[in-house]
Each structure stands twice: as structure tokens, then as C-alpha cells.
Amino acid sequence: ASIPPAAGQGTPLWEYWSGPVAAATWAMEVVGDTEIRTCETCKKLETTPGKGLTYKHRDMSDSIYNDLEDLVNGVTPMTWQNLNRVSAPPGVLVDDTVIAAIRKRPLDSRPTMIRKLAGEIAYTRLVEQGRLLTQMLRSGVKEPNVSNLQSAKAVVNDAIDHLQVELDQLDNEIKTRQAIAKLTIQRIVGAEEREIQNTRAPSRAKPTGLNSLGQP
């Protein structure tokens, strides 16, 4: 790909979120939010449950579909940031070659192709973000203010356990989806390469049955 690198490229946090605040918001949507109080007479815990990983797939799939469509139609430029939004690094990467290949597909088949690819990439992004969130929670529980408060440790560890269960349930499906997403990209790019080869190949005239003198 000819797209130049950008700040944050290669850093998981920035490849999947726009920054720490966005990552924290995403985490609260998935695992929920618990406020822990240390006062004597007040309610110790106030909990807002999360919705889990699976519920986010449809929204993510729709978002990737719209972003892919904008890239294919030239509405948005092919910058690293825009391509990263429709990728699932490091396993599934959509680059300018893939976008160019989709542009060469028949107009009536593009929406189906983009929808299929978006759904597959969304599943892969979902698992990668879930794994990153698990790592962040495990790091966070080591923070002194958390590690010194048993109730806080219990809340974080419970969130990690629930998240891991979801990841385990999705793992087999995601592996399949990731393989399919890679295969879909390979087919898109491969079809374009075959067309280029066919265009460049010299035409071969059918034999006429005549020699150089025009005789049979």
C-alpha cells in the first residue's frame, strides 16, 4: 500500500480507539461502570451494567459498512486513519489496493461485497478490542488505589471473568470470520489482478489453416 504511516500506527490503543477517553467509554458500554464509596453509612456500590461484546457487532458492522462505502465512492480520502477504521489490525488490513479493487467491481454487486466484508471485519475488531480491554483491566487492577481496596479488585476481576467468557464464546466464530475476511480480501484483489493480466496478455489470433502464402 502507498498510504503513509500516521501517528499512533502500530499502537493498539490508537488503532482501535481515538484515545484513552474513547477507550474508557467503550469499556463502560461493554463491562459497565461501578462506583465504590468508602463512607460508613452510604450505599457502598452503585453499578450500571454493561451490554457485553456481542451487542456491539451490528452497530460496528454498520459503521464499517458506511466507512467502506465512503472510501470506495471517494467521499473520504484514503488516509491511514480512514483505512484503519475499516481494518482489524494486525490480522485483517484493508489498504488502498483493496479499495481500488472494490471500485472495479460492477456497481450492482458492490453493496453486497461491502456488507459481507464489513460484517467479517466487525467480528474481528470486536475480539481484538475485547482482548485489549482485558489487558487494560488486568493492568488497572494493579494500580495501588485499586489493589489496596478489596471491593474494587473484586469488581474488576468479575468484569475480567465475564469478558473472558464472552471472548471464549466468540473465539471459534471469530477465527472463522477472520479467515473468511482474509479470503474475501484475497478474492477481491485476486479478481482485479486476473483482469489486469487478461488485459495485458497479447491477443492470440485463431489459426486460419493457411500458410504464409495464403494457401491451405
Could you read off the pLDDT of 117-175 as tens digits, one per residue? 998 899 889 989 999 999 999 988 888 878 888 888 888 899 899 888 888 887 777 67
Could you read off the pLDDT of 17-28 as tens digits, one per residue? 988 899 999 999
Q: Where are the alpha helices (DSSP H) in 80-207?
A: 80-84, 96-103, 110-140, 144-147, 150-200
Largest Cα–Cα distance of the chain, in whole Å? 111
| Cα–Cα separations (whole angstroms), residue 125 to 70, 198, 215 | 19, 36, 67
pLDDT at 205 over 60: no
Helix (H) or strand (E) holding 70: helix 56-73
Could you read off the pLDDT of 2-17 as tens digits, one per residue? 455 555 566 788 889 9
Please enumerate in sequence order all residues whose Cβ is within 8 A of that of 97, keeping only pairs 6 or more positions apart, or say none. 1, 189
Could you read off the pLDDT of 75-88 as tens digits, one per residue? 999 999 999 999 99
Could you read off the pLDDT of 35-72 as tens digits, one per residue? 887 777 777 778 888 888 888 888 899 999 999 999 99
Residue with cell string 475476511: 181
Say what the pLDDT of residue 14 is: 84
The one-letter amino acid code at 103 reads R
Q: What is the pTM of this model?
A: 0.72
Say what the pLDDT of residue 35 is: 86
